Amino acid sequence: MTTGETMTLHLKVWRQRGPDQPGALTPYTVTGVSPDMSFLEMLDLLNEQLIERNELPVEFDSDCREGICGTCGLVIDGIAHGPKRACTTCELRMRNYRDGDTITVEPFRARGFPVLKDLVVDRGAFDRIISKGGYISVNTGSAPEANTIPVPKYKTEAAMDAAICIGCGACVAACPNASAALFVGAKVSQFALLPQGHAERKVRVVRMVEQMDTEGFGACSNHGECEAVCPKKISITYIARMRREYFKAALAGV
C-alpha cells in the first residue's frame, strides 16, 4: 500500500449495553483507514462514522496510548492485544492489515473481568489483589546510602523484569483457565527478589494468592498462553517463583 492510500475494513464488534444485558457481535464497515493509524485510532474513526449516522459509539478503554498503562486491552481475532507479539492494542498499527480484511473485536473474557459495556471490562480485581500485597517496611529519616544493602545485579534485573508488568490482564484473557498467575507471580516476585521486600514476603504472597482465588480467577496449568501474549514478555518462571514463595510461607505457618 502506497503513502496516502486508505483501507476499508469489515469489523465484528462485541456490543453489550450493560453488565446484566445480553451481548452479540455486530458487523460494521469502517472506511478511510490509514495504515499509519493505531488500532484505537481506527476505532475512533469508526465511532465518528457511527455518530454521523446517529448510532451509539462503541465503548472501549484507553488512557496513555503508549503501551504503558495497560487499559486498552482487547481480544482481536481471538488473540489478546492482537496478532503482533510484545505489543499492546494501542501500539498495534493498521499496517498489519490489508484492505477488505474482516476483524473480530471482543473484550477480555474472564469471571474476574466482568463486562461493563461493549469492550469495557472491570479490572478492579487486579487492584484488590495489589492492595492485599500491602507495603514495604522502611525506616524513616534521611535517604540511606545507596550501597548500604548490596543487591546482586542478576536479582535487580530479575526484579525489574517482573516490575514492568502493566497489569493489562492479557494473561487472564489468553489463559484457558482465566488464571491471573502471571500477573500475581510478577507482582510477588518484584518484591521477593529484593532485600527491601523480605520483611513482608511471606504474608504478602499468601494474601495476594488468596485474593486471586477469591476474585474467581482459575488455576495455572502451564499452558504458556499468558507468556505468549504478554506485551512486556514476562516469563512464566515468575509463576514458579510465586509457587515457591507460597509453599515456603505455608511451611512457616503463615
- pLDDT at 138 > cutoff 90: no
Confidence of residue 136 (pLDDT cuts 50, 70, 90): confident
Decide: 136 and 188 in contact? Cβ < 8 Å: no
pLDDT at 1 (0 to 100): 52
What local confidence, expressed as pLDDT, does residue 88 receive?
Answer: 97
Cα(13)–Cα(224) distance, rounded to whole angstroms?
27
Torsion sign (Cα): 210, 216, 217, 221 = positive
pLDDT in tens, 78-131: 999 999 999 999 999 999 999 999 999 999 999 999 999 999 999 999 999 999
Domains identified in the chain and CATH numbers: 7-106 (3.10.20.30), 123-251 (1.10.1060.10)
User: Cβ distance 192 to 236 under 8 Å?
Assistant: no
Those residues with Cβ within 8 angstroms of residue 188's Cβ, 6 or more apart along the chain or in another chain: 133, 204, 205, 208, 238, 241, 242, 245
Helix, strand and coil content of the chain, in percent to the nearest 5, comes to: 35, 15, 45
Mean pLDDT of the chain: 94
Q: What 3-state class would DSSP assign to 80?
A: strand
CA dist., res. 225 & res. 236, Å (int)? 10
φ/ψ bin of 161: left (φ > 0), alpha (ψ from -120 to 50), beta (otherwise): alpha
Residue 47: per-residue pLDDT: 98
Q: 137: burial class by Cβ within 10 Å (0-12, 13-18, 19+)? A: exposed
| Residue 4 pLDDT greater than 60, yes or no | yes
Q: How far apart are CA 216 and CA 228, in angstroms?
A: 22
Q: What CA–CA distance (Å, rounded) separates 209 from 53?
A: 48
Q: What is the pLDDT of residue 143?
A: 73
Look-up of cell digits 504458556: 224
Give the C-alpha separation, 48 to 43, whole Å.
Answer: 9
d(CA 76, CA 93): 13
Look at residue 155 in the predicted model and tell me its pLDDT.
Answer: 94
Per-residue confidence at 149, pLDDT binned at 50, 70, 90? Answer: confident
Name the DSSP class of 102.
E
Average the pLDDT over each of 95-104, 141-150, 172-181, 235-244 and give the range with the smallest value. 141-150
43, pLDDT greater than 70:
yes
